[in-house]
Amino acid sequence: MRRPLVAGNWKMNGSREITKTLVTGIGSDLPGDCGIDVVVCPPYVYLDLCSDLLGLQPVSLGAQDLDIHGPGAFTGAIAADMLLDVGCRYVIVGHSERRSLYGESDESVAEKAAVATARGLTPIICVGETQEEREDGITAEVIRRQLGVVIENAGGKIFPQALVAYEPVWAIGTGLTATDHQAQEVHALIREQLSDASEEAAMGTRILYGGSVKPDNAAGLFAQPDIDGGLIGGASLKAADFLGIIKAANS
Ligand code: PEP
């Protein structure tokens, strides 16, 4: 039985004040054992503050990216050990914004996933097709390529510790959500591909859906057999909406 997980990706949003309001808002209404894993991924500079604010709350901390190198002369970069040092357990790798705006390749995403896992962090590995790729009918091919490089280069053994997030690029921040059926179809393909790694990887890996998830569409998505929770962008910046999504994952 895979335990559902809901992660909030705050992207480049927030301030010290907003971080305090948001974390307090989430914590005030979260049951002690809410039956699912909850993760928040603030910008690097607020990780430490978030870690202090979370205290004993049943919410884990995640980062939005990491560098593959160890500490040293890499100006502007953040190492896995630093993330662990401020209390992170999770790290998002290969978000479509990192791929499209910062030129991250399938190979560098695989390398980040490998380093994160080796250092004891749980990577949330994002894959997803663009609108054009979907219209061209090559969604399965794109996902297969992105995940295939991870399985080959990082090694199948990173699963089921590592998570996969299916995030159709056309659904991120657009208000367009994949239908329950469209999302389930791709999640099933991902699970099937994970069996190339091992049967344990296929059965145990949590596959999240991301792309304009809101409290009112979350329940339908999370009811699908291969959807084990969500990676949430915009709606994770409002405590009430994020809590609504957590509730949907827990029902
Ligand atoms: C994301 O950026 O990971 C995401 C899913 O964003 P949104 O929920 O805003 O579409």
Cα 126 to Cα 246: distance, rounded to the nearest angstrom: 20
Instruction: State pTM to two decimals.
Output: 0.97
**Does residue 32 register a pLDDT over 70?**
no
Across the range 110-136, mean pLDDT stands at 97
8 φ, ψ to 5°? -100, 125
CB 113 within 8 A of CB 93: yes
Q: Annotated catalytic, 97?
A: no
CA of 211 to the centre of ligand 1 (A): 5
Lowest mean pLDDT among 17-31, 110-124, 214-228: 17-31
Tens digits of per-residue pLDDT, 165-201?
999 999 998 988 899 999 999 999 999 999 989 999 9
- Domains of the chain with bracketed CATH: 5-24+36-65+77-233+245-249 (3.20.20.70)
The mean per-residue pLDDT over the stretch 236-246 comes to 97
Sign of the C-alpha dihedral computed for residues 89, 16, 32 and 225 taken in this order: negative
The pLDDT of residue 55: 86
Cα–Cα distance, 143 to 173 (Å, whole number) = 20
On average, the pLDDT of the chain sits at 96
Cα 234 to ligand 1 centroid, rounded to whole Å: 6
Confidence at 118, pLDDT banded by 50, 70, 90: very high
Does the Cβ of 230 fall within 6 Å of ligand 1? no
* Residue 70 scores a pLDDT above 90: yes
Two tokens at 202?
């296929």
Cα of 200 vs centre of ligand 1, distance in Å, is 28
